[in-house]
Amino acid sequence: ERSYFRLIRSHKLSGDLHKCVEVFNLMVSAGLQWKEQTGCTMVEVYGKLGQIEEAESIFQDMRNRGGYPDVVSCNTMLNVYAQAGMPEQADQLFQQMAAKGVTLPDTQSYTIVMKAYGKAGRSRESMVLFQAMREEGLELDEVSYNTVINVCGGEMPAMEAVRLIREMQENGYSPSMVTRNAILSVVAKSGRMEDVQELFEDFTEQGSVDGYSFSIVVDAFGKRRQLEKMEATISAAAAARISSVEMYNAAIDAYGKAGLFGTMENGLMRLQSVGLHPNAVSFNSIIHSYGTCGMLTEMEEAFERLRVAGLKPDIYTFNTLIAAYGDADMPHASVQVLRQMHEEGIFPDEVTYNSLISAFEKAGDFLEAARWSLWKNQAGFSSK
């Protein structure tokens, strides 16, 4: 058991999730009974693969074996729901933990459920949990504060935000880099670019900016199509020798969405010229940009370039292609992409089904659209 666990863990660390599943299946078919640690790791692995049902089934096995899963396993399952954008399921498990009294939720449990609601745009529920957390007398650590800033910061009146930061400091957490970046990100999402600039300048003077800070600002300028300011920020990052793939990806996406394909491609070159390597996100942006304006040849070439770069397409890549062919009134090409996706071991998610349904609707094939809608439901996704 132990050596299987170690093998699974090392595959997980190197990011090869399919290998984890392989080893786990081997272990099961060898008749070995896995321990909670192993189960917990597999819950996380299946979650990252988007196979929520598998994760649930492992977790359920843990329950069936008598003793309730410990708080770590529960938190892992909660986090799978959070990542998958399933706040109700997370909350349900959370309630069960509290009700049964065997595995009381801890600070992390609360934090994860707050994040789950936050991701779903339901910051009100997150605030309620935050209050509950204080009433329970639970310790609020830096991560939980940062999470609150991230999910509720945008909705909070300025005064309340200031109070939160002060409370954080009183509890012994002076704003860390993560906290500063979370604030920067919240302000950036609100679209107040003058404030973003001012904050960023302050942070820069204080010498507390990192790769996250730069990409947050580059992305914010890019999304608002303030391309010259975006470029100035990229130059500043280069001068400070703090460049990241994410920063360049944000620029590539901005140029692509602005229809400036030459500059977009140039962004990919620049990324490489500073010694960075593009990732799937880089190509996904490019594929999307060509796809949405009907440049299907260029799109397919970009898909090919992704592989030539030694990268693997992910769920975003496939969903983007499916949507692009749908847009181009080629729903059967979309289905072809789905097959390819399946062959590569990637499971369709809700977006995949939505795109296929739209593809057939757009082509006027409502019967086929209805069938995909049915299949979507059968796969456990609710109707649109």
Partner RNA sequence: UUUGCUACUUCCAGGA
**Closest CA relative to residue 317, chosen from 352, 350, 356:** 352
Q: Which is nearer to RNA, 115 or 229 (CB)?
A: 115
DSSP three-state, residue 198: helix
Q: Contacting RNA (CB under 7 A), which of 89, 123, 354, 373? A: 354
**Closest CA relative to residue 75, chosen from 43, 50, 99, 52:** 43
Question: Quick check: 141 binds RNA (CB under 7 A)?
Answer: yes
Query: What whole-number distance in Å separates Cα of residue 262 and Cα of residue 131?
Result: 50
Q: Contacting RNA (CB under 7 A), which of 258, 292, 333, 381? A: 292
What minimum distance in Å lies between the beta carbon of 249 and RNA?
A: 3
Reported residue count of the chain is 384
How many Cβ atoms are within 10 Å of 279's Cβ, its own excluded?
16
Joined together, the tokens standing for residue 372 give 């995909």
Interface mask toward RNA for 172-211; x: CB under 7 A? -----xx--xx-xx-------------------------x
Question: Quick check: 285 binds RNA (CB under 7 A)?
Answer: yes
Report the site for RNA in 39-68 (rule: CB under 7 A): 40-41, 44
Query: What whole-number distance in Å separates Cα of residue 224 and Cα of residue 191?
Result: 8
Interacting span for RNA (CB under 7 A) from 111-119, 154-162, 197-205, 265-273: 111-119
Task: Give the single-character DSSP code of 87.
Answer: H
Joined together, the tokens standing for residue 338 give 């789905």
Q: Contacting RNA (CB under 7 A), which of 68, 261, 316, 381? A: 316
Question: Residues 371, 363: contact at Cβ < 8 Å?
Answer: no
Long-range contacts of residues 341-346, Cβ cutoff 8 Å, at least 24 apart: 341/315, 344/312, 344/313, 345/18, 346/50, 346/313, 346/314, 346/315, 346/318
What minimum distance in Å lies between the beta carbon of 219 and RNA?
A: 4
Q: How many residues bind RNA (CB under 7 A)?
A: 66
Q: Contacting RNA (CB under 7 A), which of 7, 9, 258, 272? A: 9
How many Cβ atoms are within 10 Å of 66's Cβ, its own excluded?
6
Q: Which is nearer to RNA, 99 or 178 (CB)?
A: 178
What minimum distance in Å lies between the beta carbon of 314 and RNA?
A: 7
Q: Give Cα separations from 382 to 178, 332, 373 (angstroms).
A: 36, 24, 9
Task: Give the single-character DSSP code of 65.
Answer: T
Interface mask toward RNA for 211-250; x: CB under 7 A? xx--xx--x---x--------------------xxxx-xx
Interface mask toward RNA for 68-107; x: CB under 7 A? --xxxx-xx--x---------------------------x
Beta carbons within 8 Å of 61's beta carbon, 6+ residues apart: 39
Residue 88's identity, in one-letter code, is E
* Interacting residues with RNA (CB under 7 A): 9, 13, 36-37, 40-41, 44, 70-73, 75-76, 79, 107-108, 111-112, 115, 141-144, 146-147, 150, 177-178, 181-182, 184-185, 211-212, 215-216, 219, 223, 244-247, 249-250, 253, 279-282, 284-285, 288, 292, 314-317, 319-320, 323, 350-351, 354-355, 358, 384
